[in-house]
Structure 1
Amino acid sequence: MINISNLKKQFGKTIACDIPSFTVNDGDIVGLVGNNGAGKTTLFRMMLDLLKPNEGIITIDNVNPSVSEEWKSQTGAYIDDSFLIDYLTPDEYFAFLGKICDISSEELSSRLQQFKTFANGEIFGQNKLIRNLSAGNKQKVGIIAALVRMPNLVILDEPFNFLDPSSQSSLKHLLTEYHAKSNATILISSHNLQHTTDISTRIALMEKGHIIRNLNNDNEEAKQELIAYFEQQI
């Protein structure tokens, strides 16, 4: 469970995040949506202790990420390509992750099999440095790296960015299947309402740093409300 209490982050006079209270329950798939500058990435960075809040607290399973690293072993995340080691090939990078996470090469190879459709022949066995991959393939490497550890908590910032339509569809199946098998808690941010509502059980709508709506989405019931909201912004 993730609990947020009186969380505030400000850059100069700009309020990037102001969330009095918000809870993500175990097993939720939460889609975080909002226009550019809504505060989605800022919130994720504070969850991952990459950015310090000015006020308030976030806890992951009652652990404050800023004071303990207990949460890290059960968390897989990808925000942007700064998470990658770009002078390695994808295979070298996955092998490195396997070593630091104490996953045997045999087990790692077995786990990577589930990502073959998503990789689409462009990631595994390619003697190409990550830095020389397309933006979409870098995105795939980061997402695979976040999931291959089989974490209980997955945080992905704009995971559909840079992916072609087939890869976007493949990613939706990948995330829903991963959730079905593991009951992991998954948080994604996205500008793509269709993909987000397709896979999320809850939708948090952010605007100017605030979560202004917390919508149930068991039957994609949030979609029309979101469409109506964003149409009003035009």
Structure 2
Amino acid sequence: MNININNLKKSFGDTIACDIDNLTIHSGEIFGMVGNNGAGKTTLFRLILDLIKADEGSLNIGDINPAESEEWKNVTGAYIDESFLIEFLTPEEYFSFIGKVCGIKEPTLKERLTKFERFMNGEVTGKKKLIRDMSAGNKQKVGIIAAMLNEPEILILDEPFNFLDPSGQSMLKRILKEYNATTGATIIISSHNLSHTIDISSRIALLEHGRIIKDLANDAGIASQELTEYFENI
């Protein structure tokens, strides 16, 4: 399922947060977005997820306009930040809640959660701990797992490596690449970690002041040199 963007604009006062003339994120891509703070990555995610309204332009997930229909929610999973969590629940309660919202039966839910056991590393479930009392890294794991429970066709993750330790980062890269390979899902990530983005993305967009200034194929990591040179010279 493609995501098609045309003349999409969003400003906050005098600050341009998104100004994208034309962009198609193709079905089955792992699409990475990189850029310094304020580049517009999170704003674009919030526009895709209908969390904020565009000033101008159009955005469609397949044939669905998220601003006009709720059907996109059936095919999309996302984790942006802790506001997506229900912090007075335990992880088990939160996963159960997500399962009920998505119509996932309990045996299927348990089966899907077993796929993330190594990623959870014995620190997420079985601790009788509320999400609000967990470390930032384990909260992030809860959010990422919850976003994937419905096995979405489109997965959106904002800074997914940010709070994870090196082992968690390595496992997450493997999880995302395997999920993409086995399901053909479209995965969109943003990250300040250039090496991780290059490792997993088939295509990378470089954003600056809300605009895409480079749109690079990344087969076998070929975007690495150009992106490294850009960030070394700004």
Secondary structure, aligned partner of 1:6 = strand
Secondary structure, aligned partner of 2:64 = coil
Equivalent residue, structure 1, for 2:221: 220
Secondary structure, aligned partner of 1:186 = strand
1:117-136 mapped onto 2 (5 Å cutoff): 117-136=118-137
Equivalent residue, structure 1, for 2:140: 139
Equivalent residue, structure 2, for 1:115: 116
* Aligned-partner Cα distance in 1 for 2:161–2:101: 27
Structure 1 residue 160 corresponds to structure 2 residue 161: yes
Letter in 2 for 1:228: E
Letter in 1 for 2:233: Q
Equivalent residue, structure 2, for 1:82: 83
- For residue 101 of structure 1, report the CA deviation from its aligned partner: 1.1
The TM-score with structure 2 as length reference comes to 0.99
* Aligned-partner Cα distance in 2 for 1:178–1:116: 15
* Aligned-partner Cα distance in 1 for 2:52–2:224: 31
Letter in 2 for 1:194: S
1:1-234 mapped onto 2 (5 Å cutoff): 1-233=2-234
* Aligned-partner Cα distance in 2 for 1:224–1:117: 33
- For residue 207 of structure 1, report the CA deviation from its aligned partner: 0.4
- 1:107-129, Cα deviation, whole Å (9 max, x unpaired): 10000011011111111212000
- 1:33-56, Cα deviation, whole Å (9 max, x unpaired): 000000000000000000101000
- 1:154-174, Cα deviation, whole Å (9 max, x unpaired): 000000011111100010001
* Aligned-partner Cα distance in 2 for 1:209–1:138: 28
- 1:154-202, Cα deviation, whole Å (9 max, x unpaired): 0000000111111000100010111111110000000001100100000
- Give the number of aligned pairs: 233
* Aligned-partner Cα distance in 2 for 1:68–1:11: 25
* Aligned-partner Cα distance in 2 for 1:221–1:136: 30
5+ residue gaps, structure 2, are: none
- For residue 141 of structure 1, report the CA deviation from its aligned partner: 0.2
Letter in 2 for 1:215: L
- For residue 223 of structure 1, report the CA deviation from its aligned partner: 0.7
Percent identity, aligned pairs only, is 63
- For residue 100 of structure 1, report the CA deviation from its aligned partner: 1.4
Secondary structure, aligned partner of 1:50 = coil
- 1:46-100, Cα deviation, whole Å (9 max, x unpaired): 0000010100011000211000011101100000000000000000000111111
Letter in 1 for 2:79: Y
Secondary structure, aligned partner of 1:49 = coil
* Aligned-partner Cα distance in 1 for 2:75–2:215: 25
Letter in 2 for 1:105: E
Secondary structure, aligned partner of 1:175 = helix
Letter in 1 for 2:138: N
5+ residue gaps, structure 1, are: none
The TM-score with structure 1 as length reference comes to 0.99
4+ residue runs of structure 1 moved beyond 3 angstroms?
none
